[in-house]
Amino acid sequence: LGGSISRALQQMSNATIIDEKVLNECLNEITRALLQSDVQFKLVRDMQTNIKKIVNLDDLAAGHNKRKIIQQAIFNELCKMLDPGKPSFTPKKGKTSVVMFVGLQGSGKTTTCTKYAYYHQKKGWKPALVCADTFRAGAFDQLKQNATKAKIPFYGSYMESDPVKIAVEGVERFKQENCDLIIVDTSGRHKQEVALFEEMRQVSEATKPDLVIFVMDSSIGQAAFDQAQAFKQSVAVGAVIVTKMDGHAKGGGALSAVAATKSPVIFIGTGEHMDEFEVFDVKPFVSRLLGMGDWSGFMDKIHEVVPMDQQPELLQKLSEGNFTLRIMYEQFQNILKMGPIGQVFSMLPGFSAELMPKGREKESQAKIKRYMTMMDSMTNEELDSSNPKLMNESRIMRIARGSGRHVREVMEMFEEYKRLAKIWSKMKGLKIPKKGDMSAL
Ligand code: GDP
Ligand code: MG
């Protein structure tokens, strides 16, 4: 997809005169590409109409960067399509919420339930998992295994075949135990079947969830709209999670799911492991959909704000792909100074959304300072190593003691490091475009 969109825009920027015809050809090409990326036909057509309203041909003719203007218009339009206009219900820590997961078999419900629980547990919540999947053999074992690994309480049964009964018992039990996030995993079927939707309706009616999350495999293709709509018609879907974003699929079906459920995407799954789970961030998602690469904005920023003499060193480090704790330390220093490189790093997808959420800059700064205090207690060997295995228990204890922080906090700092190292490693071997050649990305 990215290729054909870039190609379409390339053709357009090569054309000397941009007229209605050229713009139409370009839009048709993009339409085809979006369809291939599983965006629903109706949505693509709406977008096309809107783009035509927005893009002013007179402006385009006046020597502006046509490609950029059209790309920006498409980008904005897709971002808007992913915004249903109202946020989803957000559970509150310390207040009991019941969250029910629905989706077809294999979409990633059970995996995502655990990720969702684990994500909240790390933030100090008391989550619990209820297995109301009595359809698939082994469903309870899978949930039990996941839950045990994450040390999350769980409820289920090998004997009981009534999902409604189990769901109600589980929810009741965890309410009594004062859990603040009770997650109900449900069954799926291979196909959209009447029996499945009836079961979902009954489980929902009996457990009265505060939020129903529709879990969608990013690779389901054009089926996304009908599937999401079918679930929405039987239960009150209020949010979407898109899984398997680590695969090849670009996730165009997410636009359909948002349109069909009128609910926002809240998280994405990026792997089979418990911590491969990210808060949904619309801009990188759309960049990927358009094949622009998550890095285009980042690279723009580097050329824009990093002093020329500092660029080569930074880019060199980036292309080597080895992210050490020392690099993290230096970037933290930059962020605190809010020097130019600090600004750049605050653009990194991982840095901005997780480490430095908008509107909470003060807290983020305090956290970064805490991390730096801990890193001050590390040896040079530890700072310069990019081998995560080096940090064994005794080293972690020593760092905690040396910096007067909890072991838990030191571990949290390492988690942060590992997350950033993973993002950074994607830059490895990246060809750094020269200034003015950003479109190559
Ligand atoms: P369920 O039938 O909806 O409960 O789906 P499962 O949670 O059992 O997941 C089905 C398969 O997809 C399992 O093999 C999971 O490990 C895998 N899976 C789930 N989420 C992701 C993801 O984000 N990335 C990848 N690569 N695999 C995933
Ligand atoms: Mg399951």
Residue pLDDT, tens place only, 198-255:
999 999 999 999 999 999 999 888 889 999 999 999 999 999 999 998 877 778 899 9
How many residues make up the chain in this entry? 441
Place of tokens 């005169």: 17
What pLDDT score does 69 carry?
73
Higher pLDDT, 229 or 57: 229
What pLDDT score does 437 carry?
39
At residue 127, what are phi and psi to the nearest 5 degrees? Answer: -85, 165
Residue pLDDT, tens place only, 270-313:
889 998 899 998 887 887 777 654 454 556 556 665 667 767 77
Question: Whose C-alpha lies nearest to ligand 1, atom 13?
Answer: 108
Separation of CA 78 and ligand 2 centre (Å)? 31
Between 42-46, 78-82, 85-89, the lowest mean confidence (pLDDT) is in 42-46
Mean pLDDT computed over 186-202: 88
Can you give the pTM of this predicted structure?
A: 0.71
Separation of CA 136 and ligand 2 centre (Å)? 8
**Which atom of ligand 1 lies closest to the CA of 107?**
3
Q: Which residues pair with 131 in a beta bridge?
A: 185
Give percent above pLDDT 70 in the chain: 77
**Which atom of ligand 1 lies closest to the CA of 245?**
23
Q: How far is residue 282's CA from residue 273's CA, in Å, rounded to a whole number?
A: 22
Examine the pLDDT at 176 and tell me if it is beyond 80.
Answer: yes
| CA of 163, nearest ligand number | 2
Residue whose CB lies within 8 A of the most ligand 1 atoms, among 110, 242, 272, for a mutation test:
272
Residue pLDDT, tens place only, 101-156:
999 999 999 999 999 999 999 999 999 999 999 988 899 999 999 999 999 999 99
Question: Whose C-alpha lies nearest to ligand 1, atom 26?
Answer: 271
| CA of 215, nearest ligand number | 1
What pLDDT score does 340 carry?
52
Higher pLDDT, 191 or 170: 170
Report ipTM for this prediction: 0.99
Tokens of 276: 């491969």
E strands present in 336-384:
none
Examine the pLDDT at 16 and tell me if it is beyond 90.
Answer: no
Mean pLDDT computed over 3-18: 58
Q: How is 262-319 classified by DSSP, letter by letter? A: T--EEEEE-SSSTT-EEE--HHHHHHHHTT--TTHHHHHHHHHHS-GGGHHHHHHHHH
Separation of CA 233 and ligand 1 centre (Å)? 24
Separation of CA 111 and ligand 1 centre (Å)? 6
| CA of 247, nearest ligand number | 1
Separation of CA 133 and ligand 2 centre (Å)? 7
Examine the pLDDT at 343 and tell me if it is beyond 90.
Answer: no
Q: Residue 43: pLDDT band by 50, 70, 90 thresholds?
A: confident
Examine the pLDDT at 386 and tell me if it is beyond 60.
Answer: yes
Residue whose CB lies within 8 A of the most ligand 1 atoms, among 111, 214, 220, for a mutation test:
111
CB-based contact 70:155 (threshold 8 Å): no
**Which atom of ligand 1 lies closest to the CA of 104?**
3
Mean pLDDT for all residues in the chain: 82
CA–CA distances in Å: residue 146 to residues 114, 128, 164, 243, 272? 6, 12, 22, 17, 11
Residue list, ligand 1 pocket, CB within 6 Å: 103, 105-111, 188, 243-244, 246-247, 269-272
Examine the pLDDT at 379 and tell me if it is beyond 70.
Answer: yes
